[in-house]
């Protein structure tokens, strides 16, 4: 375990929300629905936030002693695997519709990728700051 320079929880949580927002917006844009989405965008974003908000803390995803360790990145993948199906289920209830399993797989992969990029950037920046005092 090594020291971390950042006040971790709030910055990490805010970054996680940004990633979930970007994933949501990109998903709507990719399907050509962004321009007319309006508040419907929240039918994906809010369930993702709930799923992530339950999965990430349960996996100790915000503990300072773990967040700066590259070998703990597996938690990112597991959090996505736990959060996305829950989010898809909540979205299905909200929309009163069937959620295609392909949607769940693709969303899981995209969320995991986005979080891995974000958390890797966090670790690299943190390592530079610790190294340079």
- pLDDT tens-place string over residues 41-79: 999 999 999 999 999 889 888 887 777 788 888 999 999
Q: Which residues, other chains included, contact 11 with Cβ-Cβ below 8 Å and sequence gap of 6+? A: 122
Evaluate if residue 133 carries a pLDDT over 70: no
Distance of alpha carbon 116 from alpha carbon 48, whole angstroms: 16
**pLDDT at residue 87, as a whole number:** 97
pTM: 0.88
- Position 6 confidence tier, pLDDT thresholds 50, 70, 90: low
List, as own/partner pairs, every contact residues 58-67 make where C-beta atoms lie below 8 angstroms and the sequence separation is at least 24, other chains included.
Answer: 58/82, 61/12, 62/8, 62/9, 62/12, 62/13, 64/4, 64/8, 65/1, 67/4, 67/8, 67/12, 67/119, 67/122, 67/123
- pLDDT tens-place string over residues 82-108: 999 999 999 999 999 999 999 999 999
Q: Give domain limits for the chain.
A: 8-131
Three-state SS at 113: helix
Distance of alpha carbon 11 from alpha carbon 76, whole angstroms: 16
Distance of alpha carbon 41 from alpha carbon 22, whole angstroms: 11
- Position 19 confidence tier, pLDDT thresholds 50, 70, 90: very high
Highest mean pLDDT among 7-21, 30-44, 75-89: 75-89
Smallest CA-to-CA distance from 72 within 120, 121, 131, 3 is with: 120
User: Lowest mean pLDDT: which of 29-33, 41-45, 66-70, 128-132?
Assistant: 128-132
**pLDDT at residue 61, as a whole number:** 83
């Amino acid at each position: 375990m090594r020291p971390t320079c950042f006040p971790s929880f709030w910055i990490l949580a805010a970054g996680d929300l940004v990633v979930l927002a970007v994933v949501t917006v990109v998903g709507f844009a990719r399907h050509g629905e962004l321009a007319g989405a309006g508040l419907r965008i929240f039918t994906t974003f809010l369930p993702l936030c709930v799923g992530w908000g339950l999965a990430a803390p349960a996996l100790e995803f915000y503990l300072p002693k773990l967040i700066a360790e590259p070998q703990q990145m597996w938690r990112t993948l597991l959090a996505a695997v736990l959060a996305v199906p829950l989010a898809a289920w909540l979205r299905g209830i909200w929309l009163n519709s069937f959620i295609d399993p392909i949607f769940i797989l693709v969303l899981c992969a995209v969320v995991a990728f986005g979080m891995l990029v974000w958390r890797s950037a966090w670790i690299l920046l943190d390592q530079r700051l610790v190294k340079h005092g």
